[in-house]
C-alpha cells in the first residue's frame, strides 16, 4: 500500500507503546509526547487524504485503481482513530499523574494488552507493506489474544477482593475498551488488504 | 444528500430510541429487534457503498461530484458505526434481562442521553435532507448537552452513596461511552455536510 499508510502504522505503533508505558509508570512527559504525536498523525492523514482525492480527480482511475484509492481513504481513517485511542490512553495517564492509573493487580493485564496491541500494529505495518494475505489473517487471530486479555481485565475488576473502588474501575473499563477498539481497527484494515488482494471478504468482524 | 443516507439516519434513530427503551424497561423483544435491525443497517451501507463505487468507476465524476461521493462513503461508515453502538446498548439490555441494566438513580440520566441521541440523529437526518449549514452547526451544540449528561453519569457513579457495585458501574461506563460516541459520529457527519456546502471546516471535534 501507499508508503504514508505504512508510516502512519509506524506512528500509531510508537504511540501505542509509549501510551502503555506512560500509563503503567505514570510518566507524564511520555504521556504528553503521545498527545502531541496524535496531532502529527491527524495531519498526516489529512495530507494523505488530500493527495488521494487529488489523484482520484486528476487521473480518472480505472475501477481497480479506484478501489485501491478508496480503500486507502478508509484505512487512513482507521489509523487516525487508532491514534485517537492511544491519545485517550495517554490522557488517562496524565489525568491520574503522579499516581499510576493502573493498580498492581491489573498491571500485567494492561501490559499484556499494550504488548498485544503493539504486536498487532507492527504486523499490520508488514501487511500494508507486503499485502501478504496469510499475515492479514494472522492479525485477526492475534486479536483473539486481545479479547482474552479484555475478558481477564473484567474478571479482575469483578473479583470479590477488588479494593480500588469505582473510579479506578471506570478508568480500567474505558482503558480496556480503548485497547480492544484499537485492535478492532487493525483487524478492519487487515481485512481491507485481504479483500483488495483476493476480491473476497474474510469472515465477519464481531464487534 | 443521497436518499439512502437519509434512510440510514432514520433507521439509526429508530434503533437508538428502541435500544434506550429496551435498556430502561428490560424489554427483551425490543432489544432483539434492535440487534436484528443492525444487520439491515449493515446491508444498507454495503449496498449504498457498492452503488457509490460503481458511480465513481463508471461516470468518472468531476472534482465536486467526486467529493460528494467520497463524503457519502464516509458518512455511511459513520452511520453504520452508530448502528453498531445501538446494537451494543441493546446487547447490554439483553445480557441483564430480566433485570434492567440501569439502576433507579441513573434512569433519568440514561433516558436523557437516549433522548439527546435521538434528537441529534433526527436533526442529522434533516441536515442530510436539506444541507442546512445552520442546522449542521446546531448538531454540534446539541452534542454539548450529551457531554453534560455524560459528566452527570460519572458524578452519580462516583457518589459516596453508589450501592450497585462494580458490575453495574462497568455496564454504565460502557453504555455512557456508546451514547457519547454515537453523538460524536453524528457531529462528524454534520461537519462533513458543513464542509461540502461551505468548503470550510467547522471547529475541530474534541474527542
Residues of chain A with confidence (pLDDT) below 50: 205-207
Q: How many CB pairs under 8 A join A and B?
A: 60
- In tens, the pLDDT along A83-141 reads 999 999 999 999 999 999 999 999 999 999 999 999 999 999 999 999 999 999 999 99
- In tens, the pLDDT along B94-125 reads 999 999 999 999 999 999 999 999 999 999 99
Q: What is the CA radius of gyration of chain A?
A: 18
What's the predicted TM-score (pTM) here?
0.96
CB-based contact A1:A76 (threshold 8 Å): no
Q: Provide the pLDDT for residue B206.
A: 41
Assign A29 to helix, strand or coil.
Answer: helix
From residue B47, give the alpha-carbon distance in Å to each of B13, B44, B51. 20, 5, 6
Give the angle subtended at the CA of A17 by the CAs of A7 and A24, to the nearest 5°. 160
ipTM score of the complex? 0.94
Assign A200 to helix, strand or coil.
Answer: coil
Q: Provide the pLDDT for residue B202.
A: 81
Q: Provide the pLDDT for residue A23.
A: 98
Q: Measured between beta carbons, which residues in chain B are less than 8 angstroms from residue A62?
A: 57
Q: Which residue of B has its CA nearest to A49?
A: B70
Q: Provide the pLDDT for residue B62.
A: 86
Q: Measured between beta carbons, which residues in chain A are less than 8 angstroms from residue B174?
A: 173, 177
Q: Provide the pLDDT for residue B188.
A: 97
| Residue A40, H or E segment | helix A28-59
Query: Do the Cβ atoms of A73 and B74 come within 8 Å?
Result: yes
Query: Do the Cβ atoms of A66 and B53 come within 8 Å?
Result: yes
Cell of A76: 487512513
Q: Provide the pLDDT for residue B207.
A: 40
A70 touches chain B (CB under 8 A): yes
pLDDT at residue B23 above 80?
A: yes
Cell of B102: 440501569
Question: Which of B173, B180, B185, B188 should be substituted to probe chain A, the one whose Cβ sees the most A Cβ atoms within 10 Å?
Answer: B173
Q: Give chain B's mean pLDDT.
A: 95
Q: Provide the pLDDT for residue B203.
A: 66
Question: Which of A70, A168, A180 should be substituted to probe chain B, the one whose Cβ sees the most B Cβ atoms within 10 Å?
Answer: A70
Query: Do the Cβ atoms of A207 and B177 come within 8 Å?
Result: no
pLDDT at residue B205 above 80?
A: no
Q: How many angstroms separate the CA atoms of A39 and B40, rounded?
A: 36
- Of B94, B46, B81, B65, nearest to B1 by C-alpha is B65
Q: How many angstroms separate the CA atoms of A191 and A75, rounded?
A: 10
Q: Which residue of A has its CA nearest to B86?
A: A207
What is the tally of helices (H) and strands (E) in chain B? 6, 0
For A180, counting Cβ atoms within 10 Å of its Cβ (0-12 exposed, 13-18 middle, 19+ buried), the class is buried
A163 touches chain B (CB under 8 A): no
Instruction: Give the residue-averaged pLDDT of B41-55.
Output: 96
For domain A3-198, give the CATH superfamily.
Phosphate transport system protein phou homolog 2; domain 2 (1.20.58.220)
Q: Provide the pLDDT for residue B3.
A: 94
Instruction: Give the residue-averaged pLDDT of B172-200.
Output: 97
C-alpha distance from A134 to closest chain B C-alpha (Å) = 25
DSSP B85: H
Amino acid at each position: 500500500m501507499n508508503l504514508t499508510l505504512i508510516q502512519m502504522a509506524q506512528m500509531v505503533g510508537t504511540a501505542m507503546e509509549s501510551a502503555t508505558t506512560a500509563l503503567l509508570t505514570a510518566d507524564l512527559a511520555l504521556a504528553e509526547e503521545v498527545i502531541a504525536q496524535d496531532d502529527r498523525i491527524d495531519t498526516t492523514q489529512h495530507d494523505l487524504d488530500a493527495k488521494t482525492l487529488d489523484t482520484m480527480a486528476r487521473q480518472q482511475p480505472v475501477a481497480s485503481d479506484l478501489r485501491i484509492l478508496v480503500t486507502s481513504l478508509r484505512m487512513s481513517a482507521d489509523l487516525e482513530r487508532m491514534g485517537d485511542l492511544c491519545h485517550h490512553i495517554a490522557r488517562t495517564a496524565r489525568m491520574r499523574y503522579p499516581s499510576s492509573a493502573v493498580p498492581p493487580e491489573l498491571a500485567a493485564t494492561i501490559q499484556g494488552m499494550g504488548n498485544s496491541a503493539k504486536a498487532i500494529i507492527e504486523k499490520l505495518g508488514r501487511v500494508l507493506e507486503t499485502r501478504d494475505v496469510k499475515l492479514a489473517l494472522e492479525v485477526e487471530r492475534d486479536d483473539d489474544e486481545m479479547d482474552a486479555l479484555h475478558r481477564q481485565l473484567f474478571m479482575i475488576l469483578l473479583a470479590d477482593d477488588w479494593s480500588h473502588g469505582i473510579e479506578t474501575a471506570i478508568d480500567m473499563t474505558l482503558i480496556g475498551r480503548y485497547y480492544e477498539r484499537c485492535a478492532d481497527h487493525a483487524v478492519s484494515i487487515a481485512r481491507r488488504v485481504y479483500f483488495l488482494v483476493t476480491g473476497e471478504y474474510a469472515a465477519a468482524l464481531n464487534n
